[in-house]
Structure 1
Amino acid sequence: MNETNRPWPGLFISFEGIDGSGKSTQARRLSETLRNRGLNPVLTREPGGSPGAEEIRALVLQGDPDRWSAETELLLFTAARRDHLERVIRPALEAGRVVICDRFADSTRMYQGRGGLRDKVDALHNLMIGVEPDLTLLVDMPADAGLSRAKARATDEERFEDFGLALQQQMRDGFLALAQDHPNRFRVIDGNRDITTVATEILDTVTPYLPACPA
């Protein structure tokens, strides 16, 4: 099966953005709205989303910022994504469902691709994943505001946040550049507004794609 051609009837939506941008909240809200409309969406996340991938999530998001080399981290993220794809994403898309994923390969391109590893990220993705979302919603937020919001959360998954503001700004710039490079897939949403306003714009953006995905 040629995964790159996506021979399935489902709709694959990813949410991207820096830490604290509000993308996880918006992914949940979209899922709830679609469920209330009679659809049966799958809400999932990365790293994680399947039992094996959730175990890898704990390895990569907790601990000292220098716990892993960049190359090891890239391999862990790719392994988690492959398991997630096999066990959750692909079966749901083949069943014609809407899959809403909080982060996907674009986050790996940004975070694990920093420091000159972007070519390796893309090569591994093409070899082992071969799937891109139909629609990527980039919830954009100023780097300092996002970091402040991320640090206010009660969580033990702060490894990337501990790299500080410089990484946040680098990731924001990188995401916006990705959106420019892939305008057919990306939609940039201003996340620096109240939650309801952002959610309304996201729903308006997603709605034209829904008829292609049977309930």
Structure 2
Amino acid sequence: MTGRFLSLEGGEGAGKSTQVRALADALEARGIRTLVTREPGGSEGAEAIRALLMQGDVQRWSPHTEALLFAAARADHVEKTIRPAIGAGVWVICDRYLDSSRAYQGVAGGIDDAAVLALHAFGSRGLLPDRTFVLELPPEEGARRAAGRDGAGADRFAMRGDDFHIAVAAAFDRFAAAEPDRFRRIDATRPPETVTAALLDGLADLLP
């Protein structure tokens, strides 16, 4: 079986981590081998960089420094985890990927999209997912959900202001409109099982 690469994107509290696991379970039930991973992270080197990126004061890093750190983490993740799994016929499901950098550091952080894409072309050799799902949720609802996470303090990105998260949501909306072949929009206000079913529907053309 040919390996595939899927990513789930969206703002804070949209349910990406929950749906990554649910989608993996649904695909495994169909006899498809899966690997669940995340960004930043997903390899030993990338997880070390994750600790730098996710902890500390909101202003710990500038958007340009964040973009470089994310690109470095992603390069290691792609080389050590994603490409080998795809090559082995596994379906890789990633909780965030390049489009989060484009939205968070690019649009909301004020960095030109071409610069973010250039870093990706160099570090990760331009690898893009076969399908990217954007879990759409009003930013205010996402903030409410994120604040209610059990035992998890807010990270540096969740703590940013409303204007930042509105810009992130607008960025994902723009990306999805510009690349309809790769992106699928998913209404994340619905019950989790309905969202998972919508994800499967969005893979109909890729499923064996």
What is the TM-score with the length of structure 1 in the denominator?
0.91
Could you list the runs of 5+ residues in structure 2 that have no partner in the other structure? none
The one of 50, 55, 73 equivalent to 1:57 is 50
Written as runs of structure 1 = structure 2, the 5 A alignment for 1:11-22 is 11-22=4-15
Q: Which runs of 4+ in 1 moved over 3 A?
A: none
CA distance in 1, matches of 2:184, 2:128: 14
Q: Note if contact 1:9-1:96 (Cα within 8 Å) is conserved in structure 2.
A: yes
SS of 1:193 mapped into structure 2: coil
> Are 1:31 and 2:24 matched, yes or no?
yes
Deviation, structure 1 residue 24: 1.4
Q: Note if contact 1:10-1:98 (Cα within 8 Å) is conserved in structure 2.
A: yes
> Match of 1:3?
none
CA distance in 2, matches of 1:198, 1:69: 34
SS of 2:52 mapped into structure 1: helix
> Are 1:90 and 2:83 matched, yes or no?
yes
SS of 1:91 mapped into structure 2: helix
Q: Note if contact 2:64-2:111 (Cα within 8 Å) is conserved in structure 1.
A: no
CA distance in 2, matches of 1:156, 1:54: 18
Aligned letter for 2:167?
Answer: Q
**RMSD, matched Cα:** 1.4
Deviation, structure 1 residue 32: 1.0
The one of 110, 115, 137 equivalent to 1:115 is 110
CA distance in 2, matches of 1:150, 1:157: 7
CA deviation string 1:108-155 (max 9, x = no partner):
001111213422211111122111100001110001000111111132
> Match of 2:133?
137
CA distance in 2, matches of 1:64, 1:88: 30
Written as runs of structure 1 = structure 2, the 5 A alignment for 1:56-205 is 56-113=49-106, 114-129=109-124, 130-153=126-149, 154-205=151-202
Q: Note if contact 1:45-1:101 (Cα within 8 Å) is conserved in structure 2.
A: yes
Deviates more, 1:130-139 or 1:67-76: 67-76
CA distance in 2, matches of 1:38, 1:11: 14
CA distance in 1, matches of 2:87, 2:197: 28
Deviation, structure 1 residue 37: 2.2
Q: Note if contact 1:49-1:88 (Cα within 8 Å) is conserved in structure 2.
A: yes
Could you list the runs of 5+ residues in structure 1 that have no partner in the other structure? 1-7
CA distance in 1, matches of 2:51, 2:76: 15
Percent of pairs with identical residues: 47
Aligned letter for 2:187?
Answer: D
CA distance in 1, matches of 2:30, 2:89: 16
Q: Note if contact 1:22-1:191 (Cα within 8 Å) is conserved in structure 2.
A: yes
Deviation, structure 1 residue 157: 5.0
CA distance in 1, matches of 2:122, 2:47: 22
Q: Note if contact 1:62-1:157 (Cα within 8 Å) is conserved in structure 2.
A: no
Deviation, structure 1 residue 40: 1.3
> Match of 1:4?
none
